[in-house]
Structure 1
Amino acid sequence: MEFSQLLFVISEALDRTELAALKFLSLEHVTVRKREDIEEPKAFFQALQEKGMIEVGDLFFLKELLYRINRIDLLASHLGSSREEMERELQVPGRARVSPFRYLLFQLSENITKDDMKCFKFLLGKELPKCKLSPETTMLDVFIEMEKKGILREDNLTVLKTICGKVDKSLLKKIEECGLNSFGEGEMLVTEGQGSSTGAPEDSAIWLASSVAPNSLGNYDQTSQLEVYKMTSRPRGVCLILNNHNFAKAREAVPELRKMKNRNGTDVDADALRKVFSNLHFTVEVYRDCTAEEIRKIVNNYRCMDHNNEDCFVCCILSHGKKGIIYGVDGQEVPIQELTTSFTGQNCQSLAGKPKVFFVQACQGDAYQKGVTVETDSGEQDHSLETDARFQLDCIPSEADFLLGMATLQDYVSYRSPSQGTWYIQSLCQHLENSCPRGEDILTILTAVNQEVSSKIDKQNAGKQMPQPSFTLRKKLIFPVN
């Protein structure tokens, strides 16, 4: 059957309730505003085509949607698939395009009776406007309004769990069975050798999201397997590259930075990053030679963007730096923490529950000049190294879903070849290019980067470099190439 005719036949077989379910399950791909304009299945399929979610030769998302709403008859008669085949397909990591969070809410709506829904609406009377809780409002509509109000997110199920516990404990049990009751929760790991922790991130501890969900007894099921972040949108998201090369302004404006050199070789890194993230289906945006204020404005612009239709955000920073900061080309400082915390769920709601990835190529300590062929990315020279810095604990937010990849450990220099780029970025791009097609997750890739970079040596000064990732990811982060 011809493609458009196939979609037409399937659309004719769907009723309004099923259309509402399909639109809800596709909210990560079709914006709420666009969704409200869709009143028939044909328009819904058109919207999915515009987003590249269904097309000739790739009908998997359509198959998944029909499977999710239990229209196995359409799945079998028009798309040549079956319940068993879809169950096998959806076991493949990263294959599902409907998020577990969205599917859980849909399943809850299917199990909520009319009486339960009345109770639900009554208990939300102080949270949502009365006009949004009318008798005509469906349970899916209620969930959408809860999300709009910010009281329901993938990493915040507190209100939902509380209400489900009051309305019907079997609903609460369903949430627990889906393993979503630990979203946003984590276990604290104390960094070895830095003393005991009082519970705050700045007190020598780093918050890492737990990879397992509590069972009904409140213990951790060690046999649980990590979920995979949804990574199916096209584009996947934005890859922002801040590439600082020319530091003449810094040398003129800040006397103590008069020996700061231009970062020859940084364009090699920027080109490598542009290539690899373009191939991973990101929209790559490159900004060159930015002052500190320009960096802040650019980051704020991307913080304010609508990322609802995207699955991820990546930011790569190439500059001079020192402990916990990067330099603008004017020599002014920008704390790395200021940049990362711009994208927390509170500051950028459209990225809540989605991975935020930062790669920083800059020194994180004082460094001396390394000669002609190998340079360091530090703006200061001939200073002794400090020993009490804890930049990693300050730079990454304690909130879930962040990954911060630093080119070097606290206090130390990182190396850059004027002709071949930096050790860290070049290794990172090479491993992403080689390992993403094999389905390896980002932490496995960064471990390989650590191994490669740490094996290099600056022969002139016997210098070494050790990158360091820090993260609060709750799931495996895999960048599919397809």
Structure 2
Amino acid sequence: MEFPRQRLLVVSEELDKAELAALKFLSLEHVPLRKLEAIQKAQDFFEALQEKGMIEGGDLSFLKELLYRISRIDLLEAQLGSSREEMERDLQIPGRARVSAYRYLLFQLSEDIAEDEMKSFKFLLGKELPKCRLNPKTTMLDVFIEMEKKGILGEDNLSMLKSLCAEINVSLLKRIEEYELNLFGEEEMVITEEQRGSTGGHEAHARWLVSSVAPDSPGRWNESSRLEAYKMTSRPRGVCLILNNHNFAKAREAVPEPKNMKDRNGTDVDAESLRRVFSKLHFTIAEYRDLTAEEIRKIVNIYRCQDHKDKDCFVCCILSHGKKGIIYGVDGQEVPIQELTTSFTGQNCHSLAGKPKVFFVQACQGDACQKGVTIETDSGEQDYSVETDARFQLDCIPSEADFLLGMATLQDYVSYRSPREGTWYIQALCQHLECSCPRGEDILTILTAVNQEVSRKSCKPNAEKQMPQPSFTLRKKLIFPVN
């Protein structure tokens, strides 16, 4: 037991108050509420788990599951010798998961409920729960516990919660309905005619007859049958880093014709659109202009080393000249895109482990096409051989999970920019984010619409086309709430 105790001590020191509350909530089926309410330190929580046989004989499987559920993958890997992939495989084994689907649903809902939405929940529950339990310090998990105490929330009693979600945020209601739908695939719901007639429907008085599948079995809604959404409730959501290269005079001095890099007129229109949209999506904007290759590396390293613990996401928008798999600094020197993206893997940036890392790159990835009168390409070069011996996606996006890379164009092709209106890709991206995020659409749906819009454009007089390319290793839906 000496080795696990040392590890438990390290883990306990790394957990903050909110994470301890989450672990306690997820353990309510195994440790009595009264005992958990008295616990204020993670070490005491681990002692309670040991007393209940949940950490026994050096078996830390339950603790591993808890850390996996709250996305502390860094502790899971560094202290408990496991990984996200191992946990995902392990929890597919029947009977292995010990956090119930119902309990995990409530935890996920609490993660997705914004502060103003939580205030609405408290207001609407004013007549159901004691006012002293609805003070400003009361968290959403506390609210759920109080609802359970009053008997208005339970595994087979979700009607009031659904009614509240219908009034406050329909997307939360959909999450509950998806949970019920996936349960329906393994359990039989029986509704009497009297119940149906008295309610005008079946939702409020549904009674579940449990089959041979246990309610906490893996392979159910929370492991494989449904697609979860990344937590996106922090304010700010995270940093939106914009690297905007416009003036390439240094490159022209260093690189003679025919590899002449013109100034990227119109890029400031793109930067302004990105600032506007991501500010509305509650990101902190950090913009840097006209960076050399070395300066790009330094800026990226600064944000790699920052503590993103209290943030839910990281976004990086790169506006520059480029060719296949690289972007140019204003000095004409190359920076591999893969070098920038891998700077933010869980190993290189621990505080972003398990969180979405999003990159949008506006740059050519191949030979320049013939330009029209007012359209320019974002290619820095005019005369180099075409490379077709490798897939771009595999070269530039890390194999680790939780990355999204949105490229303005396919490998080997140019992308187009209007000196007055900005680039086709960034302008379409910003317009669709602005229109679709308030409707709760996920980023992949939005990028599909961007693909459609950009692909319909053509560059006269030769009708050249452009096709953006998203690549991703996302594990969940990525939705940027406006509220």
TM-score, normalised to structure 1, is: 0.62
**1:23 and 2:24 correspond:** no
Equivalent in the alignment of 2:414: 413
Partners of 1:405 and 1:457 in 2: how far apart?
Answer: 20
Q: Counterparts of 1:150-165 in structure 2 under 5 Å?
A: 150-151=78-79, 156=84, 158=86
Deviation at 1:174, TM superposition (A): 3.4
Q: Counterparts of 1:75-474 in structure 2 under 5 Å?
A: 112-114=49-51, 116=53, 119=56, 122=58, 147=75, 150-151=78-79, 156=84, 158=86, 172-174=97-99, 224-255=225-256, 258-383=259-384, 385-474=386-475
1:409 partner amino acid:
L
Partners of 2:22 and 2:97 in 1: how far apart?
Answer: 23
1:420 partner amino acid:
E
Partners of 1:119 and 1:440 in 2: how far apart?
Answer: 44
Secondary structure of the residue aligned to 1:301 is helix
Q: Is the 8 A contact 1:257 1:331 kept in 2?
A: no
* Partner deviation per Cα, 1:4-30 (whole Å, 9 max, x = no partner): xxxxxxxxxxxxxxxx996325689xx
Partners of 1:149 and 1:360 in 2: how far apart?
Answer: 31
Partners of 1:70 and 1:461 in 2: how far apart?
Answer: 72
Partners of 2:234 and 2:218 in 1: how far apart?
Answer: 37
Task: Provide the aligned C-alpha RMSD in A.
Answer: 4.3
Partners of 1:474 and 1:228 in 2: how far apart?
Answer: 9
Partners of 2:433 and 2:283 in 1: how far apart?
Answer: 13
Deviation at 1:263, TM superposition (A): 0.2
2:248 partner amino acid:
F
* Partner deviation per Cα, 1:180-213 (whole Å, 9 max, x = no partner): 9xxxxxxxxxxxxxxxxxxxxxxxxxxxxxxx9x
Partners of 1:365 and 1:305 in 2: how far apart?
Answer: 34
Equivalent in the alignment of 1:203: none
Q: Is the 8 A contact 1:368 1:382 kept in 2?
A: no
Residues 1:426 and 1:221: Cα distance change in structure 2 (over 3 Å): same
Equivalent in the alignment of 1:93: none
Q: Is the 8 A contact 2:97 2:218 kept in 1?
A: no
Deviation at 1:154, TM superposition (A): 11
Q: Is the 8 A contact 1:153 1:353 kept in 2?
A: no
Residues 1:410 and 1:274: Cα distance change in structure 2 (over 3 Å): same
Residues 1:314 and 1:118: Cα distance change in structure 2 (over 3 Å): closer
Equivalent in the alignment of 1:38: none
Secondary structure of the residue aligned to 2:225 is coil
Q: Is the 8 A contact 1:269 1:422 kept in 2?
A: yes
Q: Is the 8 A contact 1:155 1:352 kept in 2?
A: no
Deviates further, 363-372 or 319-328: 363-372
Alignment: residue pair count: 341
Deviation at 1:240, TM superposition (A): 0.2
* Partner deviation per Cα, 1:331-367 (whole Å, 9 max, x = no partner): 0000000000111111111000000000000000011
Partners of 2:458 and 2:441 in 1: how far apart?
Answer: 27
Secondary structure of the residue aligned to 2:444 is helix
Residues 1:464 and 1:154: Cα distance change in structure 2 (over 3 Å): farther
2:411 partner amino acid:
Q
Residues 1:462 and 1:218: Cα distance change in structure 2 (over 3 Å): same
Residues 1:362 and 1:114: Cα distance change in structure 2 (over 3 Å): same
Residues 1:418 and 1:155: Cα distance change in structure 2 (over 3 Å): farther
Partners of 2:235 and 2:337 in 1: how far apart?
Answer: 28
Partners of 1:392 and 1:146 in 2: how far apart?
Answer: 26
* Partner deviation per Cα, 1:372-430 (whole Å, 9 max, x = no partner): 40000001114564433422211001110000000001100000000000000000000
Residues 1:161 and 1:439: Cα distance change in structure 2 (over 3 Å): closer
Q: Is the 8 A contact 1:456 1:464 kept in 2?
A: yes
Q: Is the 8 A contact 1:257 1:379 kept in 2?
A: no
Secondary structure of the residue aligned to 1:264 is coil
Deviation at 1:224, TM superposition (A): 1.4
Kindly report structure 1 stretches of 4+ aligned residues shifted beyond 6 Å.
69-72, 108-111, 143-146, 159-163, 175-180, 215-223
2:377 partner amino acid:
T
Partners of 1:448 and 1:433 in 2: how far apart?
Answer: 13
Partners of 2:74 and 2:353 in 1: how far apart?
Answer: 14
Partners of 2:431 and 2:462 in 1: how far apart?
Answer: 26
Deviation at 1:370, TM superposition (A): 1.2
Query: How high is the sequence identity, in percent, across the aligned residues?
Result: 70
Secondary structure of the residue aligned to 1:251 is helix
TM-score, normalised to structure 2, is: 0.62
Q: Is the 8 A contact 2:96 2:218 kept in 1?
A: no
Give unmatched runs, 5+ long, in structure 1.
1-19, 29-63, 73-104, 125-138, 181-211
Give unmatched runs, 5+ long, in structure 2.
1-14, 35-41, 61-66, 106-181, 183-215
Partners of 2:51 and 2:429 in 1: how far apart?
Answer: 53
